């Protein structure tokens, strides 16, 4: 049985991204590198579409469903949007969602990453995650509601894995698949 609070958090998070924007993606400036981040990737990436970063076969493997059963949906408009992936046969079962925020520069993405990290840090203490992008943090909490989010910066892109099955392990798999497709 899927925990209903997980759905509420995922839906509210996606609504927040759509309503408020994804945090400074249109800006070009911002403070320099903050603690816990590196500038190993100065590359500026483009993002064609929120859901392009995850193929049906990758999404199916993560959700434990056939690729033919994967339903991907972009929520919102342009870059103030998120990708939601679920089973077309069982839309209320496990799902995953993520948002990509492309900034005009690496320094703007660093600022967006730190701002988003600060927003979530008011609720739960972030844990650094090694091996993903230039900087990555995990927010894992299960009381009073589930808040499992992975925030990753790579170059000028911030990836927010809003929900994924299997906690941090599942979120890392989503991040690895999406980040590998950045061009």
Distances (CA, A) of 102 to 1, 47, 157: 35, 7, 4
Structural domains for the chain? 4-180 (3.40.1000)
pLDDT along the chain (183 residues), means of 10: 41 38 36 39 64 88 91 76 85 85 92 93 89 94 78 94 90 93 82
- Model pLDDT, residue 49: 67
Helix (H, G, I), strand (E, B) or coil at 111: helix
Q: Is 159 left (phi over 0), alpha (psi -120 to 50) or beta?
A: beta
Stated as kind and residue range, the H or E segment containing 140 is strand 135-141
């Amino acid at each position: 049985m899927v925990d209903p609070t997980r759905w509420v958090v995922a839906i509210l998070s996606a609504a927040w991204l759509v309503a408020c924007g994804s945090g400074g993606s249109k800006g070009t400036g911002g403070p320099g590198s903050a603690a816990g981040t590196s500038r190993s990737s100065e590359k500026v990436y483009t993002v064609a579409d929120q859901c392009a970063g995850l193929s049906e076969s990758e999404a199916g493997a993560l959700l434990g469903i056939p690729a033919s059963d994967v339903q991907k949906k972009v929520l919102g408009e342009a870059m103030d949007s998120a990708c939601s992936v679920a089973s077309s046969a069982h839309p209320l079962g496990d799902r995953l969602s993520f948002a990509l925020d492309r900034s005009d520069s690496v320094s703007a993405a660093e600022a967006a990453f730190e701002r988003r990290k600060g927003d979530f840090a008011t609720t739960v203490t972030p844990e650094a995650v090694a091996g993903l992008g230039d900087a990555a943090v995990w927010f894992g909490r299960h009381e009073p509601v589930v808040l499992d989010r992975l925030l990753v910066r790579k170059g000028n892109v911030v990836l927010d894995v809003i929900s994924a099955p299997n906690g941090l392990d599942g979120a890392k798999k989503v991040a690895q698949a999406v980040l590998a497709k950045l061009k």
